Amino acid sequence: MKTSAFVYPWDVVGDPDAARRIADLGVRQVTLAAAYHSTRALTPRHPRHRVVTADHASVLYPPDEQHWAAHELRPYPAGDWAPGDAWGEAAAALTDAGLDVHTWVVLAHNSRMGDEHPDTSVVNAYGDRYPWAPCIAQPATRAHLVALAAEAATRPGARGTELESLGWYGLAHLHAHDKTGGVGLGEAAQYLMALCFCPDCRDGYARHGLEPDELRRSVRAALEPVWRGEAADDGWGSVEKLLGAETAAATRAHRDATARGLQEAAVAAVREAAPAGFQVLLHADPVSYHCGANAGVDPAHILSVADGVVVPCTGGAGPLTPFAEQDKGGGKVLAANLTVVRGMGGSPHTLAADARAARELGANELRLYHAGLASDADLGLVAEALAEL
């Protein structure tokens, strides 16, 4: 199984041993961040630093002014955490070490854009904005995301891309010093708290036969038992019970159609900008109403659009099954994403067994999160597992 490790440019730039160290793990490919959200990241082996603080979402290369001239929204250049063409410098070192380099592009996840352009954000039924979550129903936001995908994915030397957050984002997001865990939210409550009521989404609900203000009142009423700690949650069935099956279906129809249209447009834009043979994958969840970095998708639809998917499999590879059931000809990439950093809940000591389990459920590639964040001990276990495999 082809294996790729996730890497940030700052893991490589300034460390002359980084690229060879990653190649020596036994991976054939790296998925190198080209556009990324704000983060604070450990760099356990770097000769010049131990912690990198990326203050805001940014592109990790110099954006092309001509590409963005007609756009209302533009990407933010990185600060001193990734100066100049950090992606290009890191990619060159990794390529010289014999590794294929693919881009890693985070799209609908940008707190700075939400702060500076508040009208772009998802607005929940209570009127609260989610500045980290651009509303993908808004035309200017969609145009920005499609243009960003085309530019960031196709960096010179890249042989493919992985598009993350290409769909709806909701409440479940680690934001600053997060204090949102006081009331446990199940799948139904997360969905209700993710429903957007910006002007474009209100128009979208109306096109599907819903009166937006009435829907907003219904959502707030449905959430009242949650805040009291009384609500049972069985996923989509609870959404249907709380809103009514027809209303629930209409909200999902708006959101599913919106996400599908964005995914189709972004993949098409990447392919138009990319050389022949360029691979386009999505980080994906097989349940279309799920929100977050792994965008909720319809497996049949997304496999008709992209070359494959990267699926979170830490804790179990079950999410692969719906994709494998749709890939009858076996021509698509089904990559199992496994966390190998013990400090982040990963299991490098069971990597070989987890990879075999994923393969039995249809995986034909592996993704390892994350070569730059892992300790030496974790990386040693990864190398042993890959040698065994």
Q: What is the pLDDT of residues 9-52, one digit of tens each?
A: 999 999 999 999 999 999 999 999 999 999 999 999 999 999 99
pLDDT number for residue 363 = 97
How does DSSP classify residue 48? S
Mean model confidence pLDDT for the chain: 96
Q: Look at strands 308-312 and 160-164 and give their pairing.
A: unpaired
State the residue for tokens 């994958």: 281
**Among the listed ranges 98-102, 158-162, 225-229, which one has the minimum average pLDDT value?**
225-229
pLDDT number for residue 8 = 98
Handedness of CA 376, 381, 387, 389 (dihedral sign): negative
How does DSSP classify residue 330? S
pLDDT number for residue 248 = 98
**pLDDT higher than 80, residue 232:** no
**Among the listed ranges 127-141, 223-237, 298-312, which one has the minimum average pLDDT value?**
223-237
pLDDT number for residue 179 = 67
pLDDT number for residue 176 = 67
pLDDT number for residue 329 = 84
Asked if residue 124 lies in contact with residue 171, where contact means CB atoms within 8 angstroms, the answer is: yes
How does DSSP classify residue 163? E
Average pLDDT value for residue range 82-107: 98
pLDDT number for residue 182 = 77
Burial class (CB in 10 A: 0-12, 13-18, 19+), 135: buried
Q: What is the pLDDT of residues 372-385, one digit of tens each?
A: 999 999 999 999 99
CA 363: distance to chain centroid?
Answer: 19
Average pLDDT value for residue range 140-159: 98
pLDDT number for residue 233 = 78
**pLDDT higher than 80, residue 173:** no
pLDDT number for residue 389 = 94
Percent of the chain past pLDDT 70, that is, above it, reads: 98
pLDDT number for residue 229 = 85
Per-residue HEC secondary structure of 274-286 comes to CCCCCEEEEEEEC
pLDDT bracket for residue 177 (50, 70, 90): low
Which regions of the chain does DSSP assign to beta strands (E)?
2-7, 29-36, 39-42, 51-54, 58-59, 100-106, 121-123, 129-134, 160-164, 279-285, 295-296, 308-312, 333-339, 365-369
Which domains can be identified in the chain, with CATH numbers?
2-174+183-388 (3.20.20.80)
Average pLDDT value for residue range 257-272: 98
Q: What is the pLDDT of residues 179-216, one digit of tens each?
A: 667 777 899 999 999 999 999 999 999 999 999 999 99
Measured from the Cβ of residue 84, the count of other Cβ atoms closer than 10 Å reads: 13
**Among the listed ranges 133-147, 169-183, 263-277, which one has the minimum average pLDDT value?**
169-183
Measured from the Cβ of residue 128, the count of other Cβ atoms closer than 10 Å reads: 11
pLDDT number for residue 184 = 78
CA distance between the termini of the chain: 8
pLDDT number for residue 117 = 97
How does DSSP classify residue 198? S
Give CB contacts under 8 A, 24+ apart, made by 17-24. Answer: 17/45, 18/45, 18/46, 18/93, 18/372, 19/93, 19/94, 19/96, 19/97, 19/99, 20/97, 21/45, 21/379, 22/94, 22/97, 22/99, 22/371, 23/94, 23/97, 23/98, 23/99, 24/383
Asked if residue 127 lies in contact with residue 87, where contact means CB atoms within 8 angstroms, the answer is: no
